[in-house]
Structure 1
Amino acid sequence: MNEATGTVGAVLNAVLATIPSPDQGVWYLGPLPIRAYALCIIAGIIVAIWWGERRWVARGGIKGEVTDIAVWAVPFGLVGGRLYHVITDNQKYFGPGKNPLAALEIWNGGLGIWGAIALGAVGAWIACRRKGIPLPALADALAPGIVVAQAIGRLGNYFNQELYGGDTTLPWGLEIYRRVTPEGREDALAGVAIDHTPIQVVHPTFLYELLWNLGVALLIVWADRKFRLGHGRVFALYVAGYTAGRFWIEMMRTDEATLIFGTRVNVFVSALVFIGAVAYFIIARSRGEREDVAALRATAEPEAEPEAGPAAEPASDDVAENQNDDVEEEKNSPESVKPE
């Protein structure tokens, strides 16, 4: 009995000691590849739009507007995210032995959140201008959904076995497997793990960021309800919270990256963006409490001029003469003469 209990305990310890990686991140439906990374990105976008729509309507917006704006913001964001990744990790695509066309293969992973937010904001700004919507108010409504979408997107990194840290013996260490294609070629993205003996046990930095992002979402929802934040301050708080976590998580990562003075470029970007977000959050405080979106719409629409009724129409000359004649006749009539 003791031996059996010890065996079960050993098995449980082995299971709980590390986090296994998925065997693969790509499945095939005939010739069509189904990529977990892409599915996670799509799921995140859907959640962000759904939650953003609910928050926008609650703030006085019109149902369907967030979806309309997403038609502009999402493509801009995807292009911006890819551009940032290619620029900051250009050594992966350009140089001796590299294939520049691989920079277009977005399905293999590689989206920089900084570029996605920056260019996505440009797309949202264009759409807001066309619909007469204040961008800061919309950004406040979208902020929690965006950071949750980022958390969901990090699951794609889990399936791709990427964005992890150094070796660890912690109970939540992530097992990394060797993946191979049917042809026997080693491929961490498109291959399949045929041996579950880990070649490395590492810090799951994607998981750290996922949990951090969910915490940021809770923080900004609480602060928004508690202090009725507006004028882009919810979005600024999201950016500050996200970059604070990204700063230390980025320093734990061991994947290849562009370095500045021996430090990953995203560490510097996180620090600079954090400072900018905090500065905006403080400055925008002078604008007061949350803006009323419905009231902004009302003031933006021109007031309709009152229609002139029959009483406001000027009398014609013929009508005026007839009225004068009637007055004279009334004065000269016997009934109108008062006794002295």
Structure 2
Amino acid sequence: MTFAYIPSPPVSTFSIGPFPIHFYALTMIAAIIVAAWMTAYRWKRQGGSYEQILDITICAVPAGIIGARLYHVITTPERFFGPNGHILDVFNLRQGGLGIWGAVLLGGLAAWAWCRHKHYPAALLCDAVAPSLLVAQAIGRLGNWFNQELYGAPTTLPWGLKLNDTGTAIGSQEQCYDGATCPTGTLFHPTFLYEMIWNLIGAALLIWIGHKAFTKLKAGALFTLYIMWYTAGRTWIEALRIDFAHEFLGVRINVWVSIIVFILGAVAFSLVNRYGKSVSILAEKLRGITELEERESVAHSS
């Protein structure tokens, strides 16, 4: 008999009048708000302003959501274009399905384009957002807990995740993802919790490294450390999961992606520290741009 476990939430949605509100969506909104606030705080310390981060967020968040959905659609096309798929489900985010790789890629490109347009140092933005992304990803994993999805293999550990039949959660009818091999009461590795803890530790480490190695690391290096930390954790956490995923040579595609991106992050770390610009020089540039924008804003309002 199991005496200790992590329970699943009894509900995954609630209603305000005729409108259903999904806890998954609320965690995504909370993650965006916290990430924007953290990034703005760190950006302002480098000479920027909150308004600049607000503009960047308005560009990057929609692009990131689109990128996350596109990644999910591309990596699981049978769910939308297969014989049992429905193409219109591409737009149905209530069923879940957002890939972090697509979010970082497309959201990052949108942020880079805005920085280039406004002449902001993109490398400084990367460093400002690095720990913020890890905190946001940690918060976002709570959405998987509410949905009872993306859990790991069966376990007897006292922190195993216990599922329940909420009727609305995505994973409420998917024990072992085949409905037969795991008896009722089986506990599963809480991969959402593993990633939350891993990401929060990584965020704290990046902030600490940023303070201790401020003069040694070039601008943008902190972001490459984020890439390596996250992908290192995602590799072993992804290997625990038992939800359906395409495989190559017996290994889940996302594990291969994590390994490849980790290697690219390590190469980028070396190149940035060898050829990149110093944080102090780019911070001085940012302060000058911010002061110019503030003068222009005052001139336009007077």
TM-score between the two structures when normalised by the length of structure 2: 0.87
Q: Distance in 1 between matches of 2:100 and 2:107?
A: 10
The secondary structure found in structure 1 opposite 2:258 is: helix
Deviations 1:164-197 (A, max 9, x none): 01110000000011233xxxxxx533979xxxx9
Offset of 1:100 from its aligned partner?
A: 1.5
Secondary structure of the 1:162 match is coil
Q: Distance in 1 between matches of 2:281 and 2:134?
A: 24
| Alpha-carbon spacing, 1:243–1:298, altered in 2? closer, same or farther (3 Å) | closer
Partner residue in 2 for 1:170: 157
The amino acid that maps onto 1:107 is R
Aligned to 2:295: none
Task: Give the C-alpha shift of residue 199 in structure 1.
Answer: 4.3
Q: Distance in 1 between matches of 2:20 and 2:218?
A: 43
Partner amino acid for 1:141? Answer: A
1:147-296 paired onto structure 2 within 5 Å: 147-180=134-167, 187-189=168-170, 199-228=185-214, 229-286=217-274, 287=276, 289-296=278-285
Distance, in Å, in 2 between the alignment partners of 1:190 and 1:254 is: 12
Equivalent position to 1:52, from 39, 52, 63: 39
2:172 and 2:283 map into 1 onto residues whose CA distance is 53
After TM superposition, the structure 1 stretch with the greater mean CA deviation from structure 2, 283-292 or 77-86, is: 283-292
Instruction: Specify the code of the residue in structure 2 equivalent to 1:218.
Output: A
* SS in structure 1 of the partner of residue 187 of structure 2: strand
How much has 1:62 moved relative to structure 2? 2.4
TM-score by length of 1: 0.77
Are 1:65 and 2:52 counterparts? yes
**CA contact 1:230–1:291 (8 Å) conserved in 2:** no
Q: Does the 8 Å CA contact 2:48/2:286 hold for their aligned counterparts?
A: no
Unpaired runs of at least 5, structure 2: 174-182, 293-302
RMSD: 2.2
SS in 2 for 1:87: helix
Q: CA deviation at 1:211?
A: 0.5
Q: After TM superposition, where is structure 1 displaced by more than 4 Å over at least 4 residues in a row?
A: 297-301
Q: Answer yes or no: is the 8 Å Cα contact 1:84–1:112 preserved in 2.
A: yes
Give a deviation string over 1:250-299, Cα, whole Å, max 9, x none: 00000111111221100000001000111111121123642434422478
Distance 1:191 1:211 in 2: 24
Rg larger in structure: 1
Separation in 2, partners of 1:297, 1:237: 23
Q: Is the 8 A contact 2:162 2:185 kept in 1?
A: yes
The alignment partner of 1:171 has SS state of coil
Instruction: Find out whether 1:122 has 2:103 as its counterpart.
Output: no
Flag the 1:50–1:230 CA change in 2: closer, same or farther, 3 A. farther
Secondary structure at the counterpart of residue 271 of structure 1: helix
62-71 or 282-291, larger mean C-alpha shift: 282-291
Letter in 1 for 2:25: A
Residues 131 and 206 of structure 2 are in contact (CA less than 8 Å); yes or no, is this contact kept in structure 1? yes
Residue aligning to 1:22: 9
Q: Is the 8 A contact 1:175 1:198 kept in 2?
A: no
User: Bigger relative contact order, structure 1 or 2, given CA contacts below 8 A and separation 6+?
Assistant: 2
Q: Distance in 1 between matches of 2:120 and 2:289?
A: 10
Question: Kindly tell me: are residues 99 and 212 of structure 1, through their superposed partners in 2, closer, same or farther at Cα, counting changes over 3 Å?
Answer: same
Residues 165, 204 of structure 1: 8 Å contact kept:
yes
Q: Where does structure 1 lack aligned partners over 5 or more consecutive residues? A: 1-9, 181-186, 304-340
Q: Does structure 2 conserve the Cα–Cα contact (< 8 Å) formed by 1:148 and 1:217?
A: yes
Instruction: Check conservation: 2:47, 2:287, Cα contact below 8 A.
Output: no
How many residues align? The count is: 279
Q: Alpha carbons of 1:190 and 1:265: their partners in 2 closer, same or farther (altered >3 Å)?
A: closer
